Amino acid sequence: MPLVAHSDLPTFERLKREGETVLSADHAIHQEIRELHIGLLNMMPDAALAATERQFFRLVGESNQIAQFYMHPFTLPELKRSAEATEYVQRYYEPFDRLQAGGLDALIITGANVSQPDLALEPFWEPLIEIIGWAQEHVTSILCSCLATHAVLQFKHGQKRRRLPAKRWGVYRHRVMDRTHPLVNDVNTLFDVPHSRFNEIGRDQFEAAGLHVLAESREAGVHLAVSEDLFRVVYFQGHPEYDIHSLLKEYKREVVRFAKGEREDYPPFPENYFTLQTQAILDEHRDRLIAARAKGEPLPAFPEDLIASRLHNTWHDTAEEVINNWIGKVYQVTNMDRKLPFMEGVDRDDPLGLRA
């Protein structure tokens, strides 16, 4: 059911143009449909900030529960951002203390770029722990994505992530390990998930933490796990929220880094993502780029448009179903009569103050 554009965040308009159902705040308040308020702690770097919003907003909005979804993006001031990104956050994102006062039904926590060997040394470590601690007491369910999963396993269960021999990067086939669990109800028993990471939490570590593994890949390891109380905390290690072009853009970024001399080796292909024909096109581009760089000639443009039309999304439907199941459990458990303090005193005929 629909997302509600309760602010002027550009993501709402972008999703509406892409065909998603997005209600205006004025329209939403005149419908007799229950609200769900979902926080999005977006820790992604500047270049991926808005794209990550769209990816998670889209998955939530495509859930088929009968509810209006109010998405509340926020971030951590400890994360370094450009002046432009800081202005964007100040304009469109909400302060955490306001969300604490208003309350949330569920919370999604994204991944983040890191620079330290130990997550506890990152500047976001303490504030992230504070937010998760609050959420465990006040939010129906927390969904942790990638690095957030690693952080919770470390500070709550003492399980530190392990460095991989090489970046795990691509699209991998996963198997449902427990078909009876409500989060994977009616989900394909075999499904794909993109991964993009240098570290991992192993199955033995999830089990040592008392967590229940729901989906695992022979190549990529555990993707989906849950707390022992079924869904209080949900852990993603992959990136089911990724768009069809997300890995392509990551690959392009690494090619550009090579062209600029920021990495020594030419990046390998993400696994199980490009077709053989597409790989041949990209191999040709690599040869032309290396030859041009050696001669000091202008570098050829990356063939992004040509490649984009040849990609296939083999994971989104399953991701949508898992999120749908998660939202369904939140919907069932959340107090239907909960009042949101930050809505008190708001003109329900003009919640955004647009007529003032």
Q: Which of 241, 250, 254, 321 is catalytic?
A: 241
Element (H, E) at 287: helix 276-295
Specify whether the CB–CB gap between 72 and 37 falls below 8 A: yes
227, 56, 237: which is closest to 146 by C-alpha? 237
Is 144 annotated in the active site? no
Angle at 217 between CA 215 and CA 219, to 5 degrees: 165
| Phi, psi of 198, deg, nearest 5 | -105, -10
Q: Which of 35, 62, 122, 146 is catalytic?
A: 146
Angle at 54 between CA 129 and CA 163, to 5 degrees: 45
Pick left, alpha or beta for residue 181 (phi over 0 → left; psi -120 to 50 → alpha; otherwise beta): beta
144, 131, 142, 146: which is closest to 246 by C-alpha? 146
Is 146 annotated in the active site? yes
Specify whether the CB–CB gap between 195 and 235 falls below 8 A: no
Assign 306 to helix, strand or coil.
helix
- Measured between alpha carbons, how far is 49 from 82 in angstroms, rounded to an integer? 12
Is 138 annotated in the active site? no
Specify whether the CB–CB gap between 127 and 352 falls below 8 A: no
Q: Which of 6, 223, 239, 285 is catalytic?
A: 239
Compute CA distances 302 → 147, 165, 276, 281, 287, whole Å: 30, 28, 18, 10, 12
Count of CB atoms situated within 10 Å of the CB of 134 = 15
Catalytic residue annotation: 146, 239, 241
